[in-house]
C-alpha cells in the first residue's frame, strides 16, 4: 500500500514539474473560394507569357562507341581484343530560354557540351532551327546559343535575385523526358545554396517544383512569369523527382550570359588561395563565427603579394559579407581580372583590412587545364580545395586530376576516365602538372605505366 501511495506521489510530482503554454493560432472562421462558379484561381495568363520564351533543344554528338570484349569462341575468327570502334551518333534533349528577340538563348552547358549539332524548336513553330554556340561556362554550367530567324522572338521577362523570398510560388517550364512543353508548380524552398557540389561556382535556388530529365536549361519563373532561375539539377537516390531541385539564380544568369554574348568567354578574378569553412573546433580560435579560412596561398599570387597569410579568416570583400568558403569563391568569381578589392580579415584575434588587385583565373597554373597534347585525348588539372570537393577526392591523395577524356582516344581505351587522379608514372610521383609534364617528356614515345587513383583504389594502365 505504501509503495502504491509513493508511486502515485512521484508520478504527480513528475507530471506537475513542468508545463507549457502553446501559442495557439486564431480560430478559423472563414474559408474562401473564387467569387463565383464562373471564376477559378489560375496563373495561366502569367505562364503563357513565359512559355512562349521556352525552347526545346536536341543535340547530336558523333562519338566512338566501343564494342564489347569478344567472346573466346570467336577469337579464332576475329583475334583477341575488341571489335574496332564504330562512330554512332549520341543524341540528347534539353530546354532553353530565349533572352533576346534576335535569337540569343541561355541553357545549361551540360545540355550542349560536346554536341556536334544543336537543333532548336519553339512551341507553336514547326521550323527546326540550327543553333550555334556563342559561349560556354562549364564552371557555372551555363551556355549561350543563338538561332537565326527573321521573326521577332519572344524574350522572357528577367527578374532579380534580391526580390525573391522563401515560400514564393514558382513554376518550372521545360521539356521533361522529351514529352513536350510542360509546367510544374512549387515554392522556393531555400536560396543561395552554394555547397551542393554540382558546379564549381554555385548560387542555387532550391525548389520543390518537379524538375526532371529534359528540364535542364529550362526556366524557373515566379507567379508573374518572370525568370528567376535556370533549372539545372535534382537531388535524387532513385533517378526520379524527390522534391529537391536546383535552379541557377537569375543574377548569376544575367552576369554570365552578358559576358558570354559580349566576349564569348568568362574572365574571372583570381585571388590565389585555397580556403576552408570553419568547423566547430576552428570557431574557438576566431572571434568571427563565419568566413573563409585560408589554408594555402599560391606562390606569386595576388594574395601573397598583398600579404595575406595561411590562417587568415576572410570575412568581407568590398563590404559584402563572406559567409563561407563557397561564398568567397562566388564573390571573387564575379570580379574581372585587374579589379582592386578591399579585403577584411581576422588574424590573431584582430580585424585587419587591405587592398589587392586580382589576377586572371584563366592564366593561373593552379587552376589551368593542360593542353590535350600533354596526354593525348585527356584534359588535366591540378588538385585544389574546390576540385577535391567537387570530385570527392580525399586530402591525402596527391596527383593530377583528369577532367575530360576523349572517347575516341587511346587513353579512353586504356580505361582512363573523368575524375581519375594520376598519382605516379613508372617510378616517378606526379603531384602536379609540372611534375607530370617532366615525366612524360622523359618517357616520350615509350610505353609507360600510369598509376591511377579512382575512388581511393589504385590501378595501373599502360599508355604510349
Q: Which of 182, 216, 232, 298 is catalytic?
A: 216
Q: Is the pLDDT of residue 314 over 90?
A: yes
| Sign of the torsion angle spanned by Cα atoms 166, 170, 176, 178 | negative
Q: Does residue 264 carry a pLDDT above 80? A: yes
Kindly state the average pLDDT of the residues 405-429: 87
Task: Please check whether residues 169 and 254 belong to one and the same domain.
Answer: yes
Could you confirm whether 110 is annotated as catalytic?
A: yes
Residue where a domain stops, chosen among 246, 263, 280: 263
Closest CA to 415 of 109, 82, 114, 86: 82
DSSP, res 157: P
Q: What is the CATH number of the domain that holds 211?
A: 2.40.10.10
Question: pLDDT higher for 236 or 207?
Answer: 207
Greater confidence (204 vs 36) lies with 204
| Cβ proximity of 188 and 167 under 8 Å | yes
Half-sphere exposure of 238 (CA within 13 A, CB side): 5
Q: What pLDDT, on the 0 to 100 scale, is given for residue 238?
A: 55
CA nearest neighbour of 114 among 97, 95, 98, 91 = 91
Position 79 scores a pLDDT of 42
Q: How far is Cα 314 from Cα 12, in angstroms, rounded to an integer?
A: 55
Q: Does 73 score more than 50 pLDDT?
A: no
Q: What gap in Å lies between CA 262 and CA 265, rounded to an integer?
A: 8
The label of the residue with cell 592564366 reads 363
Provide the domain count of the chain. 4
- For residue 76, the model assigns a pLDDT of 39
Q: Which of 74-88, 101-115, 145-159 has the lowest mean pLDDT?
A: 74-88
In a domain, 6, yes or no: no
pLDDT score for 362: 67
Q: Which residue has the cell 574572365?
A: 267
| Residues 258, 166 share a domain | yes
Distance CA 333, CA 353 (A): 20
| CATH at 384 | 2.30.42.10
| Distance from C-alpha of 449 to C-alpha of 434, rounded to nearest angstrom | 18
Residue that is written with C-alpha cell 495568363 in the block: 45
Mean pLDDT over the full length of the chain:
82
Q: Domain range holding 442?
A: 378-463
Q: Residue 46 falls within a domain, yes or no? A: no
Q: Is the pLDDT of residue 437 over 80?
A: yes
Question: CB of 105 within 8 A of CB of 96?
Answer: yes
- Please compute the mean of the pLDDT values over residues 189-217 and round it to a whole number: 83
User: 178 and 137 share a domain?
Assistant: no
User: Measured between alpha carbons, how far is residue 446 from residues 266, 314, 412 in Å?
Assistant: 38, 48, 18
Number of H helices, E strands in the chain: 10, 26
Residue 186 lies in a domain: yes
pTM (2 decimals)?
0.67
Among 263, 292, 325, identify where a domain stops. 263
Query: Is position 30 within any domain?
Result: no
Q: Is 251 helix (H, G, I), strand (E, B) or coil?
A: helix
Task: Measure CA 92 to chain center.
Answer: 19
- The closest alpha carbon to 195, from 294, 326, 290, belongs to 326
Provide the 10 A C-beta neighbour count for residue 305. 13
Q: Which three cell numbers stand for residue 216?
A: 535542364
Question: Among candidates 135, 434, 347, 170, which has minimal Cα distance to 261?
Answer: 135
Q: 95, 140, 141, 381: which is the annotated catalytic residue?
A: 141
Indicate if the pLDDT at residue 383 is higher than 90: no
On whether both 177 and 198 belong to a single domain, the answer is yes
Asked if the structure places residue 38 within a domain, the reply is no
Residues across the chain: 464
How do residues 326-365 score in pLDDT, each as one tens digit? 889 889 988 989 999 999 999 999 999 999 999 887 654 4
Distance between CA atoms of residues 287 and 53, nearest Å: 49
Dihedral, CA of residue 332, residue 362, residue 109 and residue 419, to nearest 10: -100
Average pLDDT of 445-449?
Answer: 84
Per-residue pLDDT, averaged over 83-92, amounts to 61
CA distances 404 to 259, 284, 384, 395, 416, Å, are 24, 41, 17, 21, 9
Q: What is the mean pLDDT of residues 442-461?
A: 85
Assigned domain for 19 exists: no
Q: Are residues 242 and 288 in the same domain?
A: no
Tell me which of 53, 58, 110, 194 is the catalytic residue. 110
- Kindly state whether residues 399 and 327 are assigned to the same domain: no
- The answer to whether residue 23 is domain-embedded is no
Per-residue pLDDT at 277: 86
Q: 62 and 126 share a domain?
A: yes
Top-confidence residue, 191 or 25 = 191
- Cβ contacts of residue 368 below 8 Å, gap of 6+? 362, 381
Whether 156 is covered by a domain: the verdict is no
Which residue has better confidence, 376 or 218? Answer: 218
Could you tell me if 165 and 224 lie in one domain? yes
C-alpha to C-alpha distance for 113 and 137, rounded to whole angstroms = 10
How far is CA 341 from each of CA 269, 320, 335, 359, 375, rounded to the nearest angstrom?
Answer: 10, 11, 9, 11, 38
Angle at the Cα of 451 (from 447 to 454), degrees rounded to 5? Answer: 135
Domain boundary among 241, 263, 285: 263
Q: Strand locations in 21-151, DSSP E?
A: 54-65, 86-98, 104-108, 117-122, 128-137, 142-147
68: pLDDT strictly greater than 60: no
Buried b (16+ CB within 10 A) or exposed e, 34-58: eeeeeeeeebeebbebbbbbbbbbb
Q: Please indicate whether residue 141 is annotated as part of the active site.
A: yes
Pair 312, 237 in one domain: no
Average pLDDT estimate for 363-369: 42
Over residues 143-197, the pLDDT tens digits come to: 999 999 988 899 999 999 988 999 999 999 988 777 778 899 999 999 888 777 7
Half-sphere exposure in the Cβ direction for 417 (13 Å, CA): 8
Instruction: Answer yes or no: is pLDDT of 58 > 50.
Output: yes
pLDDT band with cut points at 50, 70 and 90 for residue 229: very high
Per-residue pLDDT tens digits for 284-310: 899 999 999 988 787 788 999 999 998
CB atoms within 10 A of CB 399: 22
Which residues make Cβ contacts (< 8 Å) with residue 291, sequence separation at least 6? 278, 313, 314, 315, 322, 323, 324, 328, 345, 346
Q: What is the mean pLDDT of residues 352-381?
A: 70
Question: What pLDDT is recorded for position 220?
Answer: 94
Amino acid at each position: 500500500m505504501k509503495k502504491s501511495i509513493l508511486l502515485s506521489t512521484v508520478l504527480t510530482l513528475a507530471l506537475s514539474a513542468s508545463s507549457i503554454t502553446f501559442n495557439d493560432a486564431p480560430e478559423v472562421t472563414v474559408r474562401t473560394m473564387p467569387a463565383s462558379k464562373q471564376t477559378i484561381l489560375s496563373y495561366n495568363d502569367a505562364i503563357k507569357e513565359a512559355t512562349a520564351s521556352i525552347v526545346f533543344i536536341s543535340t547530336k554528338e558523333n562519338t566512338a562507341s566501343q564494342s564489347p570484349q569478344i567472346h573466346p569462341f570467336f577469337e579464332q575468327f576475329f583475334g583477341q581484343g575488341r571489335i574496332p570502334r564504330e562512330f554512332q551518333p549520341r543524341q540528347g534533349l534539353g530546354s532553353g530560354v530565349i533572352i533576346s528577340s534576335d535569337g540569343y538563348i541561355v541553357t545549361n552547358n551540360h545540355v550542349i557540351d560536346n554536341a556536334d549539332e544543336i537543333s532548336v524548336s519553339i512551341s507553336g513553330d514547326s521550323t527546326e532551327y540550327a543553333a550555334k554556340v556563342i559561349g560556354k561556362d562549364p564552371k557555372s554550367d551555363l551556355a549561350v546559343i543563338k538561332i537565326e530567324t527573321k521573326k521577332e522572338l519572344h524574350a522572357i521577362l528577367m527578374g532579380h535575385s534580391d526580390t525573391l523570398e522563401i515560400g514564393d510560388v514558382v513554376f518550372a517550364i521545360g521539356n521533361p523526358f522529351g514529352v513536350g512543353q510542360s509546367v510544374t508548380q512549387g515554392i522556393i524552398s531555400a536560396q543561395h545554396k552554394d555547397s551542393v557540389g554540382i558546379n564549381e561556382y554555385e548560387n542555387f535556388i532550391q525548389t520543390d517544383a518537379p524538375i526532371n530529365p529534359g528540364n535542364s536549361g529550362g526556366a524557373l519563373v515566379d507567379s508573374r512569369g518572370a525568370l528567376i532561375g535556370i533549372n539545372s539539377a535534382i537531388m535524387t537516390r532513385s533517378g526520379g523527382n524527390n522534391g529537391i531541385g536546383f535552379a541557377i539564380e537569375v543574377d548569376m544568369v544575367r552576369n554570365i550570359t552578358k559576358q558570354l554574348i559580349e566576349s564569348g568567354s568568362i574572365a574571372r578574378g583570381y585571388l590565389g588561395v585555397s580556403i576552408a569553412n570553419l568547423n566547430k573546433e576552428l570557431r574557438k580560435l576566431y572571434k568571427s563565427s563565419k568566413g573563409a579560412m585560408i589554408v594555402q596561398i599560391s606562390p606569386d599570387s595576388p594574395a601573397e603579394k598583398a600579404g595575406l597569410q595561411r590562417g587568415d579568416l576572410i570575412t568581407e570583400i568590398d563590404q559584402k559579407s563572406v559567409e563561407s568558403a563557397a561564398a568567397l569563391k562566388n564573390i571573387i568569381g564575379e570580379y574581372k581580372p585587374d579589379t582592386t578589392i578591399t579585403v577584411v580579415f581576422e588574424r590573431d584575434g584582430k580585424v585587419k583590412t587591405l587592398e589587392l588587385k586580382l589576377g586572371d583565373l584563366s592564366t593561373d597554373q593552379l587552376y589551368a587545364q593542360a593542353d590535350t597534347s600533354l596526354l593525348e585525348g585527356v584534359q588535366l588539372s591540378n588538385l585544389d580545395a574546390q576540385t577535391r570537393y567537387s570530385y570527392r577526392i580525399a586530402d591525402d591523395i596527391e596527383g593530377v586530376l583528369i577532367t575530360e577524356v576523349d572517347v575516341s582516344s587511346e587513353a579512353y581505351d586504356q580505361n582512363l576516365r573523368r575524375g581519375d587522379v594520376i598519382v605516379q608514372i613508372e617510378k616517378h610521383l606526379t603531384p602536379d602538372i609540372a611534375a607530370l609534364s617532366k615525366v612524360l617528356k622523359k618517357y616520350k614515345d615509350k610505353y609507360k605505366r600510369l598509376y591511377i587513383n579512382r575512388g581511393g583504389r589504385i590501378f595501373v594502365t599502360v599508355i604510349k
